[in-house]
Amino acid sequence: MPDAPPQAAAAAFRSDVQLAVIGEVVAAAGGAGVPVWLRGGWAMDFYLGEVTRPHLDVDWFCWDSDAEAVRAIVTGLGFTEYGDSPAQRDFLRDEVDLGFALLGRGADGRPVVPSGPYAGAPWPAGMLAGPLGRIGDLTCPVISPQAQIELKLRYPEWNPALARRDKDRADIELLRARLAA
């Protein structure tokens, strides 16, 4: 597989293009009976019901047992796979970059990290019990806002090179404000 593509920064901020792709992925995965959940900034936006900022990519979760089905679905939509992470599958079509983080299942059925240095570590409790998110007429499964906050708080712990980002701070504030309302 090719290495990660260079970022097409100007095109990456095309929310209309990314929203159309989210709709394509949700429809194709749903038609194939393969569950997927938005995570990251788009999950937050779908939870809030509006686009709050530009996004460089579209982040998802899927079960590791569905990784091959997701690959078939996404490449069937014209995406090319790149990278070689054991914990995530990455795809690119034109300016849209998709990342599917893989979920394993713990003995209790709870989602866990399936491989790599954190293999077996549990993801946040209730992460996949988030509400159905919506922007306009488009609906999409999203991770819970509580899990989204926890993940954004823990990024620097998991990857010390990834300092706390301003966009993560802003996202956390927006999610906390909505949860408090």
| Integer Cα distance of 83 and 85 in angstroms | 6
User: Half-sphere exposure of residue 92, counting CA atoms within 13 Å on the CB side?
Assistant: 15
What domains lie within the chain, and their CATH numbers? 9-144 (3.30.460.40)
pTM: 0.89
- pLDDT value at position 155? 73
- pLDDT value at position 11? 45
Nearest to 101 by CA among 116, 114, 82, 88: 88
Residue 40's H or E segment, with its range, is: helix 40-48
- pLDDT value at position 167? 86
- pLDDT value at position 10? 43
Q: What is the DSSP string of 74-120?
A: HHHTT-EEE---SSEEEEEETTEEEEEEEEEE-TTS-EE--SSTTTT
- pLDDT value at position 13? 65
- Note down pLDDT in tens along the chain; length 181 residues: 545 444 444 445 689 999 999 999 999 999 999 999 999 999 999 999 999 999 999 999 999 999 999 999 999 999 999 998 888 999 999 989 999 999 999 999 999 999 888 899 999 999 999 889 999 999 999 999 999 999 888 876 766 776 777 888 899 999 999 999 9
Contact 121, 87 (CB under 8 A): no
